Amino acid sequence: MLRGLYDWMMRLAASPRATPALFLFAFAESSFFPIPPDTMLAPMVIARADRAWLNAAVCATGSVLGGMLGYYFGFALEPVAHWILSVFGHPNAEIPIQAAFGKYGVAVILLGLVPVIPYKLITISTGLAHFTVWKFVAASCVTRGTRFFAVTAIVRKWGPGLLPIIEKRLALAGGIVLALALALLLASRLIH
């Protein structure tokens, strides 16, 4: 299964539909989808290095626009926002984030740089807190742009050399990624 998913992502990353798919993936992840767009951006950078920076910009733009949808859920559709937070195992996650907004302001949105805290929790909680929308959008542009351009720079520098190793040891690489994801999930649960 892992080999099939990997091969599908690499084919999609090299296809003409890759950039629109990346935009949709980044948009959805910022408000309701569980998988980070980095998982699609990285193979796209490897498959099409000539479009790496364009794809980083598309990913960041999709993420910020999707974050605005998450903000809207929190701001105007509170029952939907609470349902999404519950589905992802974070009911009432907005309470500590709202307290942090009161204490730290816009700096809380900078947590969007940290992969341990799902960005959708920040976007929805920001809306629930009725945080100033233009500050939210500006901070989101900074955090999401920084993250996806950094991912692109790292993958451009070291990704192509790692690709043969990853392909040769796909099960091991998948196990390591899964272990890291579970460790991050456990850490986020312990923090909350």
Using one digit for the tens of pLDDT, what is the confidence trace for 142-178?
888 988 998 898 888 877 665 555 555 545 545 555 5
Show the tokens assigned to 72.
């809207």
Listed in sequence order, the DSSP H helices in the chain are: 2-14, 18-29, 38-47, 52-76, 78-87, 94-104, 119-128, 133-168, 170-191
Give the position of tokens 């999930």: 185
In a domain, 192, yes or no: no
Higher pLDDT, 182 or 4: 4
**pLDDT, average across residues 72-78:** 90
In a domain, 186, yes or no: no
In a domain, 170, yes or no: no
In a domain, 187, yes or no: no
Higher pLDDT, 64 or 112: 64
d(CA 177, CA 39): 11
d(CA 16, CA 75): 36
d(CA 120, CA 61): 15
Q: What is the pLDDT of residue 63?
A: 94
In a domain, 32, yes or no: yes
d(CA 132, CA 53): 30
d(CA 89, CA 142): 27
d(CA 71, CA 65): 10
Q: What is the pLDDT of residue 170?
A: 46
The residue range of the domain holding 129 is 2-160
In a domain, 181, yes or no: no
Local confidence band at 55 (pLDDT 50, 70, 90 cut-offs): very high
In a domain, 167, yes or no: no
Say how many residues make up the chain.
Answer: 192
pTM of the shown model: 0.72
Q: What is the pLDDT of residue 118?
A: 76
In a domain, 184, yes or no: no
Q: Which of 143, 137, 119, 144 is nearest to 68 (CA)?
A: 137
The helix/strand/coil state of 93 is: coil
- pLDDT for 105-155, tens place per residue? 666 666 655 555 678 888 888 888 888 899 889 888 988 898 899 889 888
User: Is the pLDDT confidence value at 86 over 70?
Assistant: yes
Q: Tally the domains of the chain.
A: 1
- pLDDT for 12-35, tens place per residue? 777 888 899 899 989 988 887 777
